Structures are given as structure tokens and as C-alpha cells.
Amino acid sequence: MENPGSQSASQTTSQGRFQSVVEPLQPAFAALESFLVRQVTAFEPEVQPLVDYCFGHSGKKLRPILVFSMGAEPGKVPSEEIVQAAAIVELVHLATLVHDDILDEADVRHRTETLVSKYGPHVAVLLGDALFAHALHLAAQYPDVEVCRTVSLATRQVCSGEIAQTFARGNELPDPEAYFRMIDLKTAELFNVSAYLGGYLAGFEENALDAARQYARHLGIAYQIYDDAADIFAEERVAGKTLGTDLATGKFTLPVLLWLEAMPAERRRKVFARLRGGSMDREQVRQALLDDGVLDSVGRAFHAQLELSHRAISRIPGSARRQQLEILADFVGSAWNKFNIR
Amino acid sequence: MENPGSQSASQTTSQGRFQSVVEPLQPAFAALESFLVRQVTAFEPEVQPLVDYCFGHSGKKLRPILVFSMGAEPGKVPSEEIVQAAAIVELVHLATLVHDDILDEADVRHRTETLVSKYGPHVAVLLGDALFAHALHLAAQYPDVEVCRTVSLATRQVCSGEIAQTFARGNELPDPEAYFRMIDLKTAELFNVSAYLGGYLAGFEENALDAARQYARHLGIAYQIYDDAADIFAEERVAGKTLGTDLATGKFTLPVLLWLEAMPAERRRKVFARLRGGSMDREQVRQALLDDGVLDSVGRAFHAQLELSHRAISRIPGSARRQQLEILADFVGSAWNKFNIR
């Protein structure tokens, strides 16, 4: 059962922690905002209002935060090429969100109507494409091709992860290992590339670049575990988006997979049949998972990833940067407190 | 009324002309095929069967033909970078087809079941994305960023053209000028870039590059006029794809726009209302357009574009190349004979 008092307290803590993540990055964020505003006019006139709508309803910008945390000095305006890299990864992310919302038939994201709900799936397919293409166009503005190479490969892997996930919907044997491979492709890869680009453009050496990738990759996996858990355990009011869409569309994420895995074979078969048949609603699933202690198992997987993320920090140069990365990992860790359910 | 005998004769002529286009490019096509086969394995394992399916059901490869016509010597195996450029433009084209077929709800393309019909819209959205991303990834393999810049910009313009077209569906005032702008973005731009890349990689000078772009752009506009006309005037048996989808989905192309434009205001209002209301089927529209001589007006617009294409050839270097370009433009011109309707 929930304790609204403690949840509200943990929310405040989480918001406070987010403030401490973004505060040193304010000059970088201001530069990113003005860069993105300029990008709207780079699109063909017909498309500008749609791009504007997308940019106006984005989230916490975790991927730009990763670029800045690696590539920008706290409190200072970063170089144009760092700002542009942050814009590129945010555009790729927005493109995947626009396409995801078609697949998930989601109506609300970041507390506003989704593009697919407002303009229909045709426009959403095409706008996602245009955002992808513009991201790659920006990547191609760098004098060397490394940015374009990295971003295009990551984009392909994100799509492949989503395809694997789509094929897995409603499959006979959901398997936690396949789940980890999917979220590695669909989420951790773009986190990884965001940190890599920040470090690459800031002149990191090979070992530090590898550490930047590891830090971001495990942070990304942790974040996706949290996001999937929120679809089942969070309150819509707190999440600011439609919840329960995974279950409703036959997408089984870590909580359900760990729950099934821990069952005797016979019960697993029966429960899985009920889940696939859609005869358990979100609230029933949520309560059953809480009763069986699944939130704790998922929490352990989440914290294990965060621990790997923390461990990579020591190989990254600069004490101010390392401190910023600790704060960021702690912020992601604090998200789990939202599930402070007794 | 149709004369099947003459249509069959013109088909043979058209196929004969296509043979004369591709014959000198056989070594280039063989290299392209083997390049594409190797690309399948570059995708994540989950996605490979889908990519294979797409590659196995492609069309005439007009965009690679443009790359090769500019960049390859007839009868010889072109350089790897020319072959790769041909693969890139074909991948971008395939990606747009996969997404188009979702929007058009088309079941058949190139005489086979479309990907969206076989695997559903979710997979089709994502596979289109992965094909786009892989095209850009290949573009990023060149030592200089020009290929990536050109391809990403063209891709964005293709999407913008499609978005403009989607918004125009069912609008109050269809307008031939808007139609030309849309097909310029959605079709001519990728033709243009295909010829540009072939010429650029073959070392063309500025004036020749401009001519290559002009040649291909007008060829692309002509080709799209033909393709849109075929949706109304061709036979499905000949076209190898679902026809009448434009009308059925409220997409009004040049034949309908010229037809409406030539009417007195009152009749136009009534006819447009019937078209929008879906109360005229393809056969009725087709017959009405033939009765009102619209096929001839559209034919004039088609041939005017081809003429502009022919005119650009003199500024392109190499007599063998110029001859190849004449043959290609003549082949596109011969497509019109399919509408040899008496």
C-alpha cells in the first residue's frame, strides 16, 4: 500500500537532486535551448509547427545531460560543437519517442498530448523520420565523420532493439536475458553514445572514453529498468504519462519476467496465459507483484547497474566532472524512491 | 478504351528500352547486389530476415542507375565508393517505401506482399528507421563528410515532402503548384542526390555537377508524374502493385488537380465534394478524366519535364555517359506509352 506522505517527500528529494544535476549545467542548457529554437527554422515550412510542438514538450533531457557532464565545464557555456552534439542526441531520442508513441498507442507523454494523438500516425511516422534525418544532418556538419558514424550506428541499434522487443511481444518464453539485450540496444546505446560524444569532443583518451561509455551504458540500463518498473508501479499523476501501456500491448518487462521466472512451471504457465489473454489489469498485476516481493528483486537489478555506473567514474578525468557524474548517478538512483511502497 | 494489343506492344518496347539502360551497367549492378547481400549481415540478427525480405523485393533501382550513369564507366566494375553510394540511395528509397506502404495501406508492391502487410505497422515503422539509419551509417564511412551531408539533407526533404502531402490530403483547395513542390521534395530530391553523388565521386566540376542535378531532378519529377498517373490510368496487372490507393486515401495528384482546375467553379466544387466523399471509384474517375482529355494535359507536363532533363545532358562530360543518359531519359519517356489508350 502507498504512503502518499512519504512518496511526496521522496518526490521533493528527487526534484531537489535533479536541481543539483542541472544547476551547474544551466549555461549549457540555455545554449541548447537557443540552438534547438534555431533548428526549427531549418525544417521545411510545412513541418516547422510539428517540430516546434515536439521541442516544446520534451522531458528531462538526460542524453544532453550526459553530453554536457562529459564535455562541458560546470557553470560555463560549452563550445558550439558540444551544444550541437547535445542537440543531435536529443533529436534522435525525440524521433524514437514519436515513433514509440505510435507503437504504444500512447496519448500522453511529458504531461501533454502525444504527436500521434494530435496529428495521427501518418504524420507521426514522417515527422520521426524527419527528426532522425535532421539529427544526422547536424552530425554531418562536423569536420570529421566520427560523429556521423557513431550517431547513425546508435540509431540503427536503437531501432533493432525496438524491433526485437516488438517480435518478443506475446512470445512463448519471455526471458530476462533477452530483455537485457533489448534495453541495451534500445536505451543504453544512445546513453553510451551521448557520453562518448561529450568525451570525444572534449579530447578524452581511449581509457577515459571507454569509462564514459561504461558509465552511461549502465546508467541507461538502470534508467530503463526504472522506466519499465514505473509503467507497473508508479502513479500516473507522478509519472506525467500514460501508464500500463506495456502490459496492455503485451510487452513484458523485467518485473513480469522476474515474477514469472520465480514461479513453479505450472503456475508460470497459467499466469502467463492470463497475462497474454489480457485478463489481469494493471492494478491486479501491480498488487500481485508487490505481494510476491518482485519490486525488491527488480530494485536489486536496478541498483546493481547503478553500482557498475559508479565504478566507471574513477577512470574519468577531472574532479569537477567526476563529482557531476556522481550526482547524476545518485539522481537516477533516487528515482527508485518513488516506489516507496509499504 | 484500351487496346490490349497495342499496350502489350508498348510494354515490350518499354522492357526493351529498360534492357538498353541496364545492359552497360551489368557489372555495376552485380557489384551492387553483392554489396547489398553483405549489408544484410551488418544488421542485428533479429532484423536480418526483414532486411533480406526488403532487398529481395525491390524495383528497377532507378536511383542506383543514376549513380552509375554519372559515376561508372559503361561495361566496367565501378569503384567501391560508387557502389556504396548506389547502395545508400537505394536504402533510403527502400526505407521511404516501407513507411509509404504503411501510410497508403498498400498490400502489394513490386508484385509481392508489402512488409507492412506481412509483419504489421509496428515492425514496418521500425524497419524503415533501421534502413534509414544504416544508409546514413554507410554514408558516414566516406573519408569526407560530403556524402553524409547530402544524404541526410535529402532524407529530411523527402520526409518533409511526404508530410506536406499528408497535410494536403482532403484539403479545400488542391493546387498544382503545391503538387509540384511536394514531388520535388519527396521524389526529385533523391534522384538529384543520386546523380550528384555519382558525379561528385567521379570528380565532376561545378557546372557538370549542376547539370547532373538538373538532369536527375527533372527526370524525377517526370517519373513521379508518371507514377501518379499510373495510379489512375494503369492496369494493376501491368503495374505490379496495388493501384487507386491515392484516390482511396484522399491524395489528389496531378491528373485530378488539372481536371479540377479546368472546370467552371461550380462544377469543380461539386466534383471535389464527390471525390472527397469517396463516392467516385477509380474506374469512374479514370473514365471521366479520359473523356475530358486530362491524360493529354498530364502527358504534356510529363514531357515538358523530360525535355528539361534532356537539355541538361550537353553540360555533362563524356560522350559514352551522355549517350547513357539519353537512353535513360528515353526509357522514362517510353513509360508513358503504357497509357496508350484509344
A126 interfacial to chain B (CB closer than 8 Å) = yes
A148 interfacial to chain B (CB closer than 8 Å) = yes
Q: Around A133, how many Cα atoms within 13 Å sit in the side-chain half-sphere?
A: 27
B102 confidence band (pLDDT: 50, 70, 90): confident
B213 confidence band (pLDDT: 50, 70, 90): very high
Residues A183-199 have a mean pLDDT of: 96
Residue B250: its pLDDT value, please? 79
Would the pLDDT of B75 be above 90?
no
Residues B28-33 have a mean pLDDT of: 95
Residue A331: its pLDDT value, please? 94
Whether the Cβ atoms of residue B236 and residue B243 lie closer than 8 Å to each other? yes
Residue B6: its pLDDT value, please? 42
Residue B47: its pLDDT value, please? 87
Contact across the interface for A163 and B127, Cβ inside 8 Å: yes
Residue A172: its pLDDT value, please? 65
Which residues does chain B have within 8 Å of residue A145's beta carbon, measured at their own beta carbons?
A: 140-145, 148
Find the DSSP H helices in chain A.
4-22, 26-40, 48-56, 62-71, 80-104, 115-119, 121-139, 146-168, 176-183, 189-201, 206-233, 236-239, 245-248, 254-261, 265-276, 282-291, 294-312, 319-334
Residue of B nearest to A126 (CA): B159
Short-list B141, B312, B154, B132, CA closest to B218: B312
Contact across the interface for B160 and A125, Cβ inside 8 Å: no
Would the pLDDT of B211 be above 80?
yes
Q: What is the mean pLDDT of chain B?
A: 88
Would the pLDDT of B28 be above 90?
yes
Residue B261: its pLDDT value, please? 92
Short-list A178, A171, A161, CA closest to A275: A171
A3 confidence band (pLDDT: 50, 70, 90): very low
Task: Kindly tell me the burial class for residue A95, based on how many C-beta atoms sit within 10 Å of its own C-beta (0-12, 13-18, 19 or more).
Answer: buried
Stronger pLDDT, B163 or B137, i.e. the higher one = B137
Would the pLDDT of A317 be above 50?
yes
Which residue in the set B122, B148, B162 is minimally distant from A145, CB to CB? B148
Give the minimum alpha-carbon distance from B135 to chain A in angstroms, rounded to a whole number.
8
Would the pLDDT of B149 be above 90?
yes
Stronger pLDDT, A293 or A162, i.e. the higher one = A293
Stronger pLDDT, A184 or B163, i.e. the higher one = A184
Q: What is the mean pLDDT of chain A?
A: 88
Residue B290: its pLDDT value, please? 94
Express each pLDDT in A149-171 by its tens digit. 999 999 988 888 888 877 777 66
Q: How far apart are CA B217 and CA B297, in angstroms?
A: 21
Q: How far apart are CA A238 and CA A229, in angstroms?
A: 14
Express each pLDDT in B230-262 by its tens digit. 999 987 766 667 777 788 877 889 999 999 999
Stronger pLDDT, B119 or B288, i.e. the higher one = B288
Find the DSSP H helices in chain B.
4-22, 26-40, 48-56, 62-71, 80-103, 115-119, 121-139, 146-168, 176-183, 189-201, 206-233, 236-239, 245-248, 254-261, 265-276, 282-291, 294-312, 319-334
Residue of A nearest to B134 (CA): A156
Whether the Cβ atoms of residue B30 and residue B79 lie closer than 8 Å to each other? no
Contact across the interface for B145 and A142, Cβ inside 8 Å: yes
Residue of B nearest to A103 (CA): B122
- The three cell numbers of residue B275 are 471525390
B145 interfacial to chain A (CB closer than 8 Å) = yes
B3 confidence band (pLDDT: 50, 70, 90): very low
Task: Kindly tell me the burial class for residue A162, based on how many C-beta atoms sit within 10 Å of its own C-beta (0-12, 13-18, 19 or more).
Answer: buried
Residue A173: its pLDDT value, please? 64
A107 confidence band (pLDDT: 50, 70, 90): confident
Go through the domains of chain A in sequence order and give each one's CATH number.
14-324 (1.10.600.10)
Which residues does chain A have within 8 Å of residue B128's beta carbon, measured at their own beta carbons?
A: 125, 129
A234 confidence band (pLDDT: 50, 70, 90): confident
Q: How far apart are CA A340 and CA A235, in angstroms?
A: 12
**Quick one: what percent of chain B has pLDDT higher than 70?**
90
Least confident of B36-50, B56-70, B153-167, B199-213: B153-167
Highest mean pLDDT among A3-12, B78-87, B144-153: B78-87
Would the pLDDT of B222 be above 80?
yes
Express each pLDDT in B118-135 by its tens digit. 888 888 888 999 999 999
How many C-beta atoms lie closer than 10 Å to residue A330's C-beta?
A: 14
Would the pLDDT of B330 be above 50?
yes
Express each pLDDT in A117-131 by its tens digit. 888 888 888 899 999
Residue A100: its pLDDT value, please? 83
B57 confidence band (pLDDT: 50, 70, 90): confident
**Quick one: what percent of chain B has pLDDT higher than 90?**
58
Would the pLDDT of A262 be above 80?
yes
Residue B171: its pLDDT value, please? 61
